Amino acid sequence: MYATSYHRASSVEDAVQLRSAHEEGKYLSGGMTLISTMKQRLAAPSDLIDLRHIPALRGISIEGRRVKIGAATPHADVAASRDLRALCPAICDLASHIGDPHVRHMGTIGGSIANNDPAADYPAGLLGLGATIVTDRRSLSADDFFVGLFETALEEGEMVTAVTFDAPEKAGYAKFNNPASRFAMTGVFVAKTASGVRVAVTGAGSDGVFRHPGFEQALASNWSADALANVSVDSSNLLSDLHANAEYRANLVKVMAKRAIAAAG
């Protein structure tokens, strides 16, 4: 790791000010990706602005069917929230299978989506739920937020503060782990929302998380795993690596979609 300066931000305003004062600085949330990248000397931020101690960024609040999760809420809190589970168990289940217990107690939802790892779970969950990502300066739809591999619509210095979504009628998530990293080699989140059926795929796309319109149309008219039987998955835009080539991932996209439907009930 290269030398860096650590700052503990006390409020969102404080964090934004610190960040703007340090051109080469970076926000630090759970640090699950950033710290290991720094240890490998693949990242060298001059300053780290720690967001984990800002009370306003942490916690889950629910009003009616409207859910708000603070950006610095760790995965373990999402997994364990009874109120959230009563409304949207799929997102709790998703959170409960991210990484390992250490990761779930350190990693945060805001950190995960701001990093937008193409194999992370939350991008599929939020895209599938049609969530809104709230930042220190605006609100974005998940469709607009997730742009590509490790790429989001966040501007320089912009910071995720919360995500919000309306609890869906039904939702489910199924993932197939990479055998080494246990990131999603393919993960599919399905949701039946007020605005229609949404299917989001992570771990598989060569441009990161994506929606699958073919699945969405099939499920809109028939919410069942059988509805996907004759829908093809195009492998041409899927990732190929040591552990899974595009053809195998295309298979996993369909199998995981069917399992996600089964999980959603």
Partner 1 sequence: MGVEGIGARVTRKEDKRFLTGKGRYTDDMTVPGMKYAYFVRSPHAHAKIVNIDVSAAKSMPGVIDVLDGRQLQADGIGNLICGWMIHSKDGSPMKMGAWRPLAVDTVRYVGDAIAIVVADSSGEARDAAEAVVIDYEVLPAVADVAAAMQAGAPQIHPEAPGNLIYDWQIGDPDAADRAIAAAAHVTEIDIVNNRLSPNPMEPRATLGIYDSAEDHYTCYTTSQNPHVARLVMSAFYNVAPENKLRVIAPDVGGGFGSKIYIYPEEIVCLWASKKTNVPVKWTSDRTEAFLTDAHGRDHISKVKMAFDADHRITALKVDTIANLGAYMSLFSSAVPTYLYATLLSGQYAIPAIHANVRTVYTNTVPVDAYRGAGRPEATYLLERTMETAARELGLSPAELRRKNFIRSFPYQTPVIMNYDAGNYEASLDAAMQAADWSGFATRRSEAQARGKKRGIGMSCYIEACGIAPSAAVGSLGAGVGLWESAEVRVNAVGTIEVLTGSHSHGQGHETTFAQLVASRLGVPIESINIVHGDTDKVQMGMGTYGSRSGAVGMSAIVKALDKVEAKAKKIAAHLMEADESDIVIENGELKIAGTDKTLPWFQVALAAYTAHNLPSGMEPGLKETAFYDPSNFTFPAGCYIAEVEVDPETGETDIIQFVAADDFGNIINPLIVEGQVHGGLAQGIGQALLEGVHYDENGQLLTASFMDYAMPRADDLPSFKLSHQNTPCPSNPLGIKGCGEAGAIGSPPALINAITDAIGTNRLTMPATSMKVWQAMHAAH
Choosing from 3, 24, 221, 230, the residue that interacts with partner 1 (CB under 8 A) is: 3
Strands (E), the chain: 5-8, 26-28, 47-50, 60-63, 66-70, 132-135, 139-141, 146-148, 151-152, 160-166, 170-177, 184-193, 196-202, 210-211
According to CB under 8 A, which residues from 23 to 42 bind partner 1? Answer: 40-41
Q: Between residues 96 and 139, which has the closer beta carbon with respect to partner 1?
A: 96
Q: How far is the CB of 180 from partner 1 (least distance, A)?
A: 4
Nearest distance from C-beta of residue 62 to partner 1, angstroms: 33
- Tokens 């650590």, residue located: 6
Which residues does residue 26 pair with via DSSP β-bridges, in sequence order?
48
Site for partner 1 in 160-189 (CB under 8 A): 176, 179-181
Residues in contact with partner 1, counted by CB under 8 A, come to a total of 17
Which amino acid, one-letter code, is at 56? A
246 to 265, contacts with partner 1 by CB under 8 A? 248, 251-252, 255
Q: Does 244 bind partner 1 (CB under 8 A)?
A: yes
Shortest Å, Cβ 17 to partner 1? 29
- Shortest distance, CB of residue 73 to partner 1, whole angstroms? 25
Q: Which of 7, 8, 22, 243 binds partner 1 (CB under 8 A)?
A: 243
Among 243, 239, 172, 249, CA closest to 208: 239
- Check if the beta carbon of residue 19 is closer than 8 Å to that of residue 28: no
For 164-175, b where at least 16 C-beta lie within 10 A, e where not — what string? Answer: bbbbbebbbbbb
**Binding residues for partner 1 (CB under 8 A):** 1-3, 40-41, 176, 179-181, 242-245, 248, 251-252, 255
